[in-house]
Amino acid sequence: MKFDINKIRSQFPILHQQVNGKPLVYFDNAATSQKPQVVIDAEVKYYSEINANIHRGVHHLSQVATDAYEESRIKIQKHINAKNSFEVLFTSGTTFGINLVANGFGQILKQGDEVIVSHLEHHSNIVPWQFACERSGATLKVIPMLQNGSLDMEAYQNLLTENTKIVAVNHISNALGVVNPVKFIIEKAHQVGAAVLIDGAQATPHLKPDVQELDCDFYVFSGHKIGGPTGTGILYGKEAWLNKLPPYQGGGEMIKEVTFEKTTYACLPHKFEAGTPNIAGGIVLGVAIDYLNEIGFDNIAAYEQELLDYGMQQLSKLEGIEFYGTTAEKASVISFNFKGIHPYDVGAIIDKLGIAVRTGHHCAQPIMNYFDIPGTIRASFAFYNTKEEIDAMIEALKKAQMMLQ
Ligand SMILES: Cc1ncc(COP(=O)(O)O)c(CNc2co[nH]c2=O)c1O
């Protein structure tokens, strides 16, 4: 499909509003993406036409809803190139998916085992592993970062031992936009027999992950970051690992037989899908993925690279600006500060001018500690943003600098 920015923008109703009397410039896409009309309509259609509980109903609506939900699972399986649809679990988001895996490892790790995360992780890919280590007696190790925001791969290889049982790293840093060499990380971890979880929350808006090509053992992401509803997400796990991990939640759907003496569990994926799921969310997530595939990830990547290059070029002209995460390969996320000015103050002022960015530690406090800063100003672009919006942000930043200097 030809990439037509004006046609695309017309498909996002939320973008065409004023904030504080100024056109909204939404540059907080790393926090959550906006939703195209086709996604909004799909949610309405579900509740207007097919809403019913799934998997065990004998009536028509339940069968229709079940078919739609499981067709979405297959759609997502194809999107990430998973070998089997039962390796694709619906979750409420990245945080839930990581907790499910970390909770399982917390029950199979033991004293002396080692878990590796990186300095670039979101808190959602740090704290669950601290829980797992506290529970099991395993040791948490951290891949150090370098001044340009990349990970120290030399140090990573030195951290790996025969005691390393799992490595959990993000595909792309939410705070810096840095793209990590996940293929290399996975290969090296497998050489010592360790499993690898890839946190794809910031990658899936910008690329189609191929979990078989990566050969990762787990891959997690959130629906709300790729145009889908909040409260949706996917955990991909290799069949062998999902069969090895204990269930995460107990209840309906996830059982084969329940007696007071013993309960046996359902097969994959249901073993990890206890209770009534977010049926609408799972179906609509598939619609969001269809929408992105229609636009084309090659088109999205090329256009977002244009925005990133233009944004860096224009921001670099501003006095006193400092960038964080200056690697060559980056997603369309720019983290920066102005010397002597608190990021929050800048964010609050440009919000008054309609510019929506995120300021603060971005749930990545270890990164802020590394740079010895309270936080950053983070502008994150999506395929529905424009260079004219970047110009508006630049003008707003100049006004903020004048007010705060
Ligand atoms: C890399 C990464 N991992 C995990 C999460 C957690 O995802 P959730 O479970 O859907 O919340 C986020 C959310 N990142 C952000 C949420 O708001 N601003 C952000 O940068 C993330 O960017």
Q: How many domains are contained in the chain?
A: 2
12 vs 382: CA distance, rounded Å: 12
* CATH number of the domain that residue 370 is part of: 3.90.1150.10
From the CA of 331, how far away is ligand 1's center (Å)? 15
322 vs 315: CA distance, rounded Å: 10
Tens-digit pLDDT string for the chain (405 aa): 789 999 999 999 999 999 999 999 999 999 999 999 999 999 999 999 999 999 988 999 999 999 999 999 999 999 999 999 999 999 999 999 999 999 999 999 999 999 999 999 999 999 999 999 999 999 999 999 999 999 999 999 999 999 999 999 999 999 999 999 999 999 999 999 999 999 999 999 999 999 999 999 999 999 999 999 999 999 999 999 999 999 999 999 999 999 999 999 999 999 999 999 999 999 999 999 999 999 999 999 999 999 999 999 999 999 999 999 999 899 999 999 999 999 999 999 999 999 999 999 999 999 999 999 999 999 999 999 999 999 999 999 999 999 998
Count of CB atoms situated within 10 Å of the CB of 289: 23
Q: Are residues 156 and 118 both part of a single domain?
A: yes
Q: Are residues 272 and 310 both part of a single domain?
A: no
Give the pLDDT confidence score for residue 405 in this predicted structure: 87
From the CA of 58, how far away is ligand 1's center (Å)? 38
Residue 391 lies in a domain: yes
Whether ligand 1 lies within 6 angstroms of the CB of 378 is answered as no
Give the pLDDT confidence score for residue 2 in this predicted structure: 87
Q: Which of 251, 266, 293 is the last residue of a domain?
A: 293
Give the pLDDT confidence score for residue 114 in this predicted structure: 98
Q: Are residues 283 and 246 both part of a single domain?
A: yes
Give the pLDDT confidence score for residue 37 in this predicted structure: 98
Give the pLDDT confidence score for residue 56 in this predicted structure: 82
Q: Are residues 223 and 363 both part of a single domain?
A: no
Residue 185 lies in a domain: yes
Whether ligand 1 lies within 6 angstroms of the CB of 202 is answered as yes
Q: Are residues 255 and 348 both part of a single domain?
A: no
Q: Are residues 163 and 235 both part of a single domain?
A: yes
Q: Are residues 89 and 189 both part of a single domain?
A: yes
| Active site residue ranges | 363
Nearest Cα residue to 142 out of 365, 188, 151:
151
Q: Whose CA is nearest to atom 12 of ligand 1?
A: 201
From the CA of 157, how far away is ligand 1's center (Å)? 27
Q: Are residues 119 and 230 both part of a single domain?
A: yes
**What type of residue is 18?**
Q
Residue 158 lies in a domain: yes
From the CA of 201, how far away is ligand 1's center (Å)? 6
Q: Which of 293, 316, 332 is the last residue of a domain?
A: 293
Residue 98 lies in a domain: yes
Residue 161 lies in a domain: yes
**What type of residue is 261?**
E
Q: Which of 270, 293, 316 is the last residue of a domain?
A: 293
Q: Are residues 288 and 301 both part of a single domain?
A: no
Residue 201 lies in a domain: yes
Q: ipTM score here? A: 0.99
Residue 161 CB contacts under 8 Å (≥ 6 apart), including other chains: 114, 192
Q: Are residues 271 and 198 both part of a single domain?
A: yes
Q: Are residues 268 and 165 both part of a single domain?
A: yes
- The domain of 312 spans 5-31+296-404
Q: Whose CA is nearest to atom 15 of ligand 1?
A: 31
Residue 398 CB contacts under 8 Å (≥ 6 apart), including other chains: 318
Whether ligand 1 lies within 6 angstroms of the CB of 199 is answered as yes
Report which ligand 1 atom has the smallest distance to the Cα of 175: 20
Residues in the chain, how many? 405
* CATH number of the domain that residue 244 is part of: 3.40.640.10
Q: Are residues 286 and 386 both part of a single domain?
A: no
Whether ligand 1 lies within 6 angstroms of the CB of 169 is answered as no
380 vs 331: CA distance, rounded Å: 9
How many Cα atoms within 13 Å fall on the side-chain side of residue 390?
24
Residue 36 lies in a domain: no
